[in-house]
Amino acid sequence: MTEDPLERIEREERERKERRRAILSGGAVGGIAGALAIVLAIGAVILGVLWWKERGAVKNIESEHNKLVSALEVEKQELARQMVALQEDFSSLNSDYESINHQLDTSREQVAQLIEKLAQTEASNRAKIRQYEKELGTLRSIMKGYIVQIDSLNTLNKKLTADAAEARREAAESRRANEELTAQVTNLSEKVSTGKVLRARGIGLYGYNGSNKVSDRHSRVKYLMVTLSLVENSLADRGPVRIYVRVKDPDGILLMNSESVGFTCGGNALEATASREVDYEGNEMDVSIYVKDTGEFAKGIYSLEVYTEQALLGRAECLLR
């Protein structure tokens, strides 16, 4: 049977439209799939780049951290070295003074404890490390103070030693001068009857403090006292006798006050620091004479001479520390 031309044309048109729809439908699905593939590829690339950068950043952070840890450890080791050096300095520091040695022992123990605390502290603990640095600085300052103090005491000790030697030299010169004076007095005394001359024994010179107690500390002495005993002499003249004392300071200067007087012994005019009149009856007699109001007393040896107008009774010395 022959197909109608119009129907054939309509049929062919429908077939073309169906093929077109099929083609269009197939192309859309393919396009979407392609787009998704591209997006996934780009995402993969981005993720790879981000992963690579993150890995590099982690490596950089790890590297910086390792450098910081190394630097802190070096700093801790340097601080430990300084502490050990200070410990050795303290060990080599010696003193002849008990009080300073006790302080040195305490400081040595502090350094040892500081070294132990540093060894037990992590280098990354910056607060503790800074605290130990400050403590180390304080101990260094303390050690400098010890050195200055010991040097000062050593210098003072040398000065005192030199002063003592000078005092001994002056005392020797004073003794030589006294010996010369004694020779002169002896020559004059030979003209007087030996049996009539008053003599003394137990001559002494002592320092007294404000509590009227004997003291050899020059800073505490308020006055000096001369003590002696006039020995028994039945041939000596009875009656009033004035006793003169001459006291010289460590520089050989005669001590004087408002009560000081002059006198003559064997024809020689002399100055007396102090004097006292006693009533001598031929029996042994104890005599005390005060030396007051002569100013502050210096450190050193004080020399004493005791006279009557007839003779030198004797000498004595007193050391004030």
| Structure token pair of residue 234 | 């039945």
Residues 223, 313, single domain; the answer is: yes
Residues 91, 198, single domain; the answer is: no
Residues 216, 306, single domain; the answer is: yes
Q: Helix 98-119 crosses helix 5-92 at what angle (to 10 degrees)? A: 160
Let me know if 276 is exposed, middle or buried by CB neighbors in 10 A (0-12, 13-18, 19+): middle
Is 172 within the bounds of a domain?
no
The answer for residues whose C-beta is within 8 angstroms of residue 255's C-beta and 6 or more apart is 247, 248, 249, 273, 291, 294, 295
Residues 52, 153, single domain; the answer is: yes
Helices (H), the chain: 5-92, 98-119, 126-189
Is 208 within the bounds of a domain?
yes
Is 32 within the bounds of a domain?
yes
Residues 71, 143, single domain; the answer is: yes
Number of domains in the chain: 2
- Which residue's structure tokens are 């003209």? 191
Distance (Å, whole) CA 226 – CA 306? 9
Residues 148, 263, single domain; the answer is: no
Beta bridge partners, 269, equal 264
Is 201 within the bounds of a domain?
yes
Q: What residues make up the domain containing 64?
A: 26-161
Any idea what the CATH number is for the domain that residue 260 is in? Answer: 2.60.40.10
Domain boundary among 161, 183, 210: 161
Q: Could you list the pLDDT tens digit for every one of the 321 residues in the chain? A: 556 666 776 777 788 778 777 666 655 445 565 667 676 767 676 776 676 666 665 566 666 667 767 788 888 888 889 889 888 888 877 777 787 888 888 888 888 998 888 888 887 888 888 898 888 889 888 878 888 888 888 788 788 888 888 888 888 887 887 787 777 766 655 645 567 788 999 999 999 999 999 999 999 999 999 999 999 988 888 999 999 999 999 999 999 988 889 999 888 899 999 999 999 998 999 999 999 988 889 999 999 999 998 889 999 999 999
